[in-house]
A and B are shown apart, each in its own frame.
Chain A
Amino acid sequence: MNEGLQDGPAIEARGLVKRYGDEVVAVDGLDLSVPANRIYGLLGPNGAGKTTTISILTTLLEPTGGEAKVLGLDVVKQAGDVRQRVGVTFQEMVLDDELTGRQVLDYHGRLYRIGKAERKAKTEELLALVELREAAERKAKTYSGGMKRRLELARALMTTPEVLFLDEPTLGLDPQTRARIWDYLRALKEEGGMTLLLTTHYMNEAEELADTVGIIDRGKLVVEGAPQELIEQMGADTIHVIGDGERDAFVEKVRTLPFVQTVDVGRTVIQVGVDSGSKRLVEIVSQATGNAFEIEDITVSKPSLGDVFLKYTGRRLRDTDSPQTQHRMLLMS
């Protein structure tokens, strides 16, 4: 462990750019600073540049522009040192599934030149942590999706990384398995000594786990903060209005109401932050009657990170996707 690095951020990116050819800009001037020993959640829709960012930070891809440092080490010039000290799980399942669970962990440790005794101890410890002891002698191809994910997590932890990158760690998993993975990650945080950067497009995952959330859209960081702070900015309650007609006139009138704290106009949804949703609902509706604006749908809710996302990107982040659509997206990405 390098004590000197405790002061600086564990992960730092400045003006990071990744272009593919002339057309595609996957990361577009990303600035990122993750303090040590924290969990940072990079939240964004598919195609926002999350995976590309992780690929650059883990030295898999070289950036087109800008620079990135992990533990104070340049990811291009000191790639070898970065590799030695970070761990990663990829978005898709990456397992040599002809090997048994124990062999997967053991070979991974050997690649990092961990001594035999330490490898053995670590393997046992991690198999216990991710509750795969009983399946350890079975080939990984017989594992369920959740078991494979847990094995991948254990593999990433084999080398006791100082920074752990998790790209969509619970994508496509059932709710129970997701909750279990969250438990492991929380336990890791409790233990300390490790910085975690995870990407997700599940709002609740970011809310549950992250100390800091960064919302990334079209390759840029649009807003950053503790989940609760971001949510509190939205007002006590949020009223979502969907309607047809003179939207602008309606929005103008709503803005002038004294109890309205924020108004964010998305492509389809207008979000109004108010002091008390149930009390103000009628007054909001009444603003529409005088205008050529017809309300089709109106709901009141406690604000969530989803509302924060909508506010900053103008788009909804679908966090209620069925596992099937997620799977399709995974295949397409």
Chain B
Amino acid sequence: MAATATLWSKQMRKFLASPEEMFGLLIQPILWVVLFGVGMKSMLSAGMPGGGEPYVAFMLPGIVVLSALSGAIGGGSVWLTERLRGIVKEYLVAPIPRLSILMGNALSTMTKSMFQAIIVLVVGVILGARLSPNPVGWLGGLVLVAGFGLGFSGIALSMASQTDNPGAYHAMIMVLNLPLLFLSNALYPLATMPTWMRIGSLLNPATYTIDGLRQMMFRDPSALAGGDPLPLWLCWGAVLAFAALGMWLAYAAFRKSIK
């Protein structure tokens, strides 16, 4: 625990000392919400698919998840750089658990995703989305995003542990990134998808994160989901299982890389 906190604090301090990184991290989700959200809104006639709610509200959870995805990719990049530059060796000769090394990285990624999520929500509200009146729901939503971020951080870390080539890492991770975003209910409702796509989306942990977010954080969730929402317990179960799976994959790949 102490080692995880130390490594987390180190990553956060580096982040706070780098205005460029902070700027990029904060601006990217804002651009998504403003450019994509506003564009789509003007194209879609009122009432679809948000059912009275603006499209911005519909797509906000998707942008939150997308930000978590790009955050995790960045976390994997940091890890790859630390591996290639030998910095990981400093951690490995220290008397700390191996898992704490990965957790330090994943938790700092998650923390950044939380910042992003909050900014996305604030911008969304300014643009007309209406949040649920229950702050417990907001908190639950953030925890759910954190779980998803942890899972995908794990996948990114496992990939970054298996290659020594930053180009290969980015190529592999983009192949995963695209279906995670587009083969989900982030941009279009599950109910209107063709069957094959719905099946694909239901295999995607992002779908459960987004559905859970809509239910916990926004008003009129059934309208937002464009049909019956998924059971909330299933959303939680799927996301927590994904978080555990991701970290397990990362740990297994890391163990193999230091043999």
Contacts and interface: CB of A to CB of B under 8 A. Distances in A.
A111 B91 contact: yes
Interface stretch (A82-90, A180-188, A309-317): A82-90
A195 interface: no
A110 interface: yes
Contacts of A108: 90, 94
Interface stretch (B9-17, B157-165, B190-198): B9-17
Contacts of A59: 92-93
A60 interface: yes
A224 interface: no
A99 B13 contact: yes
B96 interface: yes
Interface string A99-116: 100010001101111000
Interface residues of A, number: 26
A86 B7 CA distance: 20
A83 B101 CA distance: 15
Contacts of A81: 95
B91 to A, nearest CB: 7
Contacts of A155: 90
Interface string B81-98: 010011101111111100
B3 interface: yes
B256 interface: no
Interface in B198-222: none
A111 B3 contact: yes
A103 B13 contact: yes
Contacts of B96: 111
B89 A94 contact: yes
Contacts of A113: 2
Contacts of B86: 90, 92-94
A275 interface: no
Contacts, number: 56
B28 interface: no
Interface in B49-103: 82, 85-87, 89-96
Most buried by B among A60, A80, A98, A103: A98
A60 B258 CA distance: 8
Contacts of B13: 99, 103
Contact of A88 (B2, B7, B93): B93
B134 interface: no
Contacts of A90: 86, 89
A304 interface: no
Contact of B95 (A80, A95, A103, A110): A80
Interface in A138-173: 155
A63 B2 CA distance: 29
**Chain B: interface secondary structure?**
helix
A60 B95 contact: no
Contacts of B258: 60
B127 to A, nearest CB: 35
B6 interface: yes
A125 interface: no
Nearest to A139: B17
A74 interface: no
A99 B95 contact: no
A62 interface: yes
Contacts of B87: 94-96
Nearest to B7: A111
Contact of A98 (B2, B6, B7, B18): B18
B88 to A, nearest CB: 9
By CB atoms of chain B within 10 A, which of A62, A86, A90, A111 has the most? A111
A95 B88 CA distance: 10
Contacts of B85: 94
A99 B17 CA distance: 9
Contact of B10 (A62, A86, A93, A99): A99
Given A83-B95, A90-B86, 15 more contacts: A58-B93, A59-B92, A59-B93, A60-B89, A60-B92, A83-B93, A88-B93, A93-B86, A95-B87, A96-B10, A99-B13, A107-B9, A110-B2, A111-B3, A112-B95
Interface of A: 58-60, 62, 80-81, 83-84, 86, 88, 90, 92-96, 98-99, 103, 107-108, 110-113, 155
24 contacts: A58-B93, A59-B93, A60-B92, A81-B95, A83-B93, A83-B95, A86-B93, A90-B86, A92-B86, A94-B85, A94-B86, A96-B10, A96-B14, A96-B82, A96-B90, A98-B17, A99-B13, A103-B10, A103-B13, A108-B94, A111-B6, A111-B7, A111-B94, A111-B96
A-B pairs with the 5 shortest C-beta distances? A83-B95, A94-B86, A84-B95, A110-B6, A111-B94
